[in-house]
Amino acid sequence: MKSVTPYLNFDGNCRQAMHFYQKCLGTELQISSYPDAKGQPSRDPDARLMHCQLLRNGEPVLMGSDTPPNSALRIGNNFSVSVDCDSVEEIEQLFTAVGENGQERVPLANMPWGARFGMLTDQFGVQWLFNCKLHG
């Protein structure tokens, strides 16, 4: 396993929050907006964020996103634990183990960003994100 990182969810103010945390923590900020109507990352400076991360020495220390439009954000679903895996075998094993008696939210699948990814809520109500960069 490469890393485990907190992943925060926001309702439209992720950009503001992550700029604040960047200033407080002295980190680098990377931002990706949700796609526009043409499927391209939105260039609107107020667009909701699909993913962002604060990096220290090239490694993520905090990640976040805005919920998709029309999604309800509640205390309790405003964070996840993000696990970056070393291999496809590892992501399959961890996803199955952590998901025991839980609920799969996004099944493991290959994603457009070149990774295998899945989301679940464990039996204790904690949300998890699993990601594994695909090589080749």
CATH at residue 6: 3.10.180.10
Give the tens place of pLDDT for each residue, 41-90. 788 888 889 999 999 999 999 999 998 877 877 777 788 899 999 999 99
> Looking at the 3D structure of the chain, how many domains does it have?
2
Instruction: Write the CATH number for 120.
Output: 3.30.720.110
Percentages helix, strand, coil for the chain (3-state, rounded to 5) are 15, 45, 40
Rounded-to-integer distance, Cα 21 and Cα 100, Å: 34
The DSSP symbol for 2 reads -
- Predicted TM-score (pTM) of the model is 0.75
Here the tokens at position 33 are 């907006």
Residues 18 and 53 in one domain: yes
Q: How many helices (H) and strands (E) does the chain have?
A: 2, 8
Residues 115 and 52 in one domain: no
For residue 67, what pLDDT is reported?
A: 87
> Does residue 80 sit within a domain?
no
Range of the domain at 109: 85-136
Q: Which residues are within 8 A (CB) of 58 and not within 5 positions of it... i.e. 6 or more apart?
A: none
Rounded-to-integer distance, Cα 123 and Cα 101, Å: 5
Residues 1 and 67 in one domain: yes
Residues 31 and 57 in one domain: yes
The answer to whether residues 61 and 67 touch, using CB atoms and an 8 Å cutoff, is: no
**Least-confidence region, from 32-41, 95-104, 106-115:** 32-41
Residues 64 and 5 in one domain: yes
